[in-house]
Structure 1
Amino acid sequence: MTVADALNPPKGECRQCWYHAHARDAHRHLAPRQDCPACVAHMGGRHPDSMIVR
């Protein structure tokens, strides 16, 4: 998947979650086995409505 694909999620998907799942650079700053705070904040379907692609 390209960076452009990672920046253009399909309808119904969270922009942040899609990017973090498909862009290699999203988690480069983390240490091995370190949780991403942004991903943890969205676990369990806790996505702000403004981040969902309509």
Structure 2
Amino acid sequence: MAAKQTPPGESPQCWQHAHDRSIHRRLNPREDCQPCVDHMRNGCPTLTPKKPSRWW
């Protein structure tokens, strides 16, 4: 399954790890993904910019 394009306002790493099962397939049961753990502890450093709001 090919990874989809990251939507605006989402972290590319979060989006890819949530929607591409092949990334976590190599992990053993109950084994944590180190990039995901680091991302949870340190936050999302790179976010895709949101589209400007045109409400008003």
Q: Please report the TM-score for the alignment, with normalisation by the length of structure 2.
A: 0.72
- What is the one-letter code of the residue matched to 1:52? L
Once residues 41 and 13 of structure 1 are traced to their aligned partners in structure 2, the CA distance between those partners, rounded to angstroms, is: 17
Larger radius of gyration: 2
Match of 2:20 among 17, 20, 23: 23
The sequence identity of aligned pairs, in percent, is 47
Q: Show the counterpart of 1:9.
A: 6
Quote the RMSD (CA, aligned, Å): 1.7
- What is the one-letter code of the residue matched to 1:3? A
- Structure 1 stretches (4+) deviating beyond 3 angstroms? none
Q: Show the counterpart of 2:44.
A: 47
Q: Show the counterpart of 2:54.
A: none
The 3-state SS of whatever aligns with 2:31 is coil
Q: How many residues align?
A: 49
- Which consecutive residues of structure 1, in runs of 5 or more, have no partner in the other structure? none
